[in-house]
Amino acid sequence: MPQAKIGWKTAAGLVIANMIGTGVFTSLGFQLVDLKSSWSIVLLWFIGGVMALIGAFTYAELGTHFKNSGGDYIFLSKIFHPLLGYLYAWTSLMVGFSAPIAIAAIAMTDYLNPFMGKANGDWFGLGIILLVSIMHSFNVRQSGWFQDVVTSLKLLFVFSLIVIGFWYAPESVNAIQFDASWSREILLPGFAVSLIYVSYAYTGWNAAAYIVEEIDQPRSSLPKALIGGTLLVMIVYVLLQIVFLKHASFDQLMGKVEVANISFSNIFPVNGIKWVSFFIALQLVGTISGYVWIGPRVTHAMAKDYKLWRPLAKTNNSGIPVRALWLNTGISILLTMTGTFEQVLLYAGFVLQLMGTLTVVSLLFVKRDKSTFQSPLKPFLQIIYVLFSLWVLIYMLIDRPFESLAGLGLIGLGVVLFWFDTFQPVKKE
């Protein structure tokens, strides 16, 4: 029975759902510690969006060239060396996809505390992970339907925030300050550090590239999904920052995490802001769903090639890698329950940024093919991306040396596992 496929709109929804998580609602307060000009804030989110777009162009060409699910694992293995693909898949399995699920579940619990208390909220977050995993365990058609629903709810919520934010008059004392100080602020170390966190908020722009085999007509659908989804999120991110600045003061926002709640508490009464918290929690279901869907595809791609992971290559009758999916779910639940996931994610953050940069570099070694999507302005855009990424990596190493080096330790363990796997790929049946 042929496997069902999804259209570009569902694939774009997957990109949007993976990108819009907690970062856009929480990071502004830390940016305002060093940056006061609203132009600086807008520029931060614009630069992050441009970098994500360059990445989307790159992955659209790579995905339509190889036409295999698995994303970076496929690209790095086939262009450079199987070891690099293996290391990417190993890192992704341990934290790359499971930790974002755990973070979303914990954040959901925090936002739901006013409704059900922390104890009940913890169990609710775990229950959501299990429910979403069940929804993705049957077939692509059901996965696509579920993702469409949760992504639509996410978009409805964020568009509502934007409309309400621009409709209501600004606070008499607010953080909007469009002045010329941005030209000085962009040279500050704080601007570079803020870019690191903005780049985290944009992660997920490559989501559809992991499920190429499940997309109908990937030659046209994959670029639409990656580029269209990233463009939409970039617009949403910039507009949301302006809304947050418009409805709260510097003193209210600086150094604070829940900037969305702070800003909208100045618009709504107490009961109203509770519902804002509720819908922020609800939209995180889409984020969890996106990572539950794509993460196992990377593990499954590796499992088909190597003995150690061979049991995870098994799929159900509809082609869903259920064993890899539930292993990913199990790791996510473990990280959620232990609460140690944040530091582990920082360990891997340096590595994942490094691997993503290598993937962008890999496109420079792929010959032009008229049958695939062509990344515009190649190789200039890719060179810009690599230089930006190296800048981010250097600042990560300076700002988070212990976690960055520990992430490299995770790579070292992956190298040991690769050699233990005896360099003997399993013959495909």
Tens digits of per-residue pLDDT, 296-354? Answer: 999 999 999 999 999 999 999 999 999 999 999 999 999 888 865 556 666 667 787 88
Q: Are 209 and 226 in contact (CB under 8 A)?
A: yes
| In a domain? residue 23 | yes
| In a domain? residue 277 | yes
Distance CA 254, CA 30 (A): 6
Distance CA 49, CA 55 (A): 10
User: pLDDT at residue 242 above 50?
Assistant: yes
Reference 34, options 256, 150, 194, 245; nearest CA is: 194
Which of 14-23, 158-167, 269-278, 368-377 has the least mean pLDDT?
269-278
pLDDT 10s digits, 346-357: 666 778 788 899
- pLDDT given at position 352: 79
User: pLDDT at residue 212 above 90?
Assistant: yes
Q: Hey, which residues does 306 pair with through a beta bridge?
A: 425
| In a domain? residue 1 | no
Place of tokens 């989307």: 56
pLDDT 10s digits, 263-303: 999 998 777 788 888 999 999 999 999 999 999 999 999 99
- pLDDT given at position 270: 74
Cα dist. 136→16, 172, 211, 309 in Å? 18, 48, 13, 21
Distance CA 159, CA 201 (A): 18
If one compares 258 and 418, the residue with the highest pLDDT of the two is 418
Spell out where 152-265 has E strands: none
- Other C-beta atoms lying within 10 Å of the C-beta of residue 345: 21
- pLDDT given at position 350: 78
- pLDDT given at position 274: 85
For the whole model, what pTM was predicted? 0.91
- Which residues span the domain enclosing 165? 8-420
| In a domain? residue 429 | no
User: pLDDT at residue 254 above 80?
Assistant: yes
- pLDDT given at position 1: 45
| In a domain? residue 192 | yes
- The DSSP output letter for 306 is B
| In a domain? residue 427 | no
Two structure tokens written together for 131: 């429910």
Q: What is the CATH number of the domain that holds 231?
A: 1.20.1740.10
User: Average of pLDDT values for 253-268?
Assistant: 91
Tell me what percent of the residues of the chain surpass a pLDDT of 70.
94
| In a domain? residue 3 | no
Mean confidence (pLDDT) of the chain = 90
| In a domain? residue 332 | yes
Sign of the C-alpha dihedral computed for residues 52, 55, 57 and 59 taken in this order = negative
User: Average of pLDDT values for 253-259?
Assistant: 90
Distance CA 285, CA 272 (A): 21
Q: Hey, which residues does 233 pair with through a beta bridge?
A: none
Number of domains in the chain: 1
